[in-house]
Structure 1
Amino acid sequence: MEQTRILAVLDRLAAAWERGDAAAYGREFTADASYVTYVGTVYRGRDDLAAGHAALFGKFLKGTRMFAEVVEVRLYDARTAVVVTRGDVGKKRPRRLSKVQTFTLVLEDDGEWRIAAFQNTKHHTLMEAVSFRMLPASAPR
Structure 2
Amino acid sequence: MTETAHQDRPADTEAIHALLARGCAAWAAGDGAAYGAQFTPDGTDVTYAGTVYHGADEIGRAHQDLFDSFLKNTRLVVEITDLRFHGPDTAVAVTRGDVRKGGPKAPGAGAGGRLGKLATYTLVRGTDGAWRIAAVQKTRHKRLTEAFSFRLRPATRPAPHPSER
Specify if TM > 0.5. yes
Using the TM superposition, give the Cα deviation of residue 68 of structure 1 relative to its aligned residue in structure 2, in angstroms. 2.1
Q: Which residue of 1 aligns with 2:74?
A: 64
Matching residue within 116, 120, 124 for 2:138: 120
Matched, 1:99 2:109: no
Matching residue within 53, 58, 62 for 1:48: 58
2: distance between equivalents of 1:51 and 1:15? 17
SS, match of residue 86 in structure 2: strand
Using the TM superposition, give the Cα deviation of residue 94 of structure 1 relative to its aligned residue in structure 2, in angstroms. 5.6
Using the TM superposition, give the Cα deviation of residue 88 of structure 1 relative to its aligned residue in structure 2, in angstroms. 0.3
Q: Which residue of 2 aligns with 1:38?
A: 48
Alignment size in residue pairs:
141
* TM-score with structure 2 setting the length: 0.83
Contact map agreement 2:20 2:78 (CA 8 A) in 1 = no
Deviations 1:45-98 (A, max 9, x none): 111111110100000001001112211111111000011111000215562111
- One-letter amino acid of the counterpart of residue 122, structure 2: T
Runs of 4+ in structure 1 displaced over 6 angstroms? Answer: none
Which of the two has greater strand per residue?
A: 1
Matched, 1:135 2:145: no
2: distance between equivalents of 1:68 and 1:110? 25
- One-letter amino acid of the counterpart of residue 153, structure 2: L
Q: Which residue of 1 aligns with 2:32?
A: 22
2: distance between equivalents of 1:124 and 1:94? 19
Query: What percent identity do the matched residue pairs reach?
Result: 50
1:94/1:59 Cα in 2 relative to 1: closer, same or farther (>3 Å)?
farther
1: distance between equivalents of 2:135 and 2:119? 10
* TM-score with structure 1 setting the length: 0.96
- One-letter amino acid of the counterpart of residue 140, structure 1: P
Q: What is the root-mean-square deviation in Å for CA atoms of aligned residues? A: 1.0
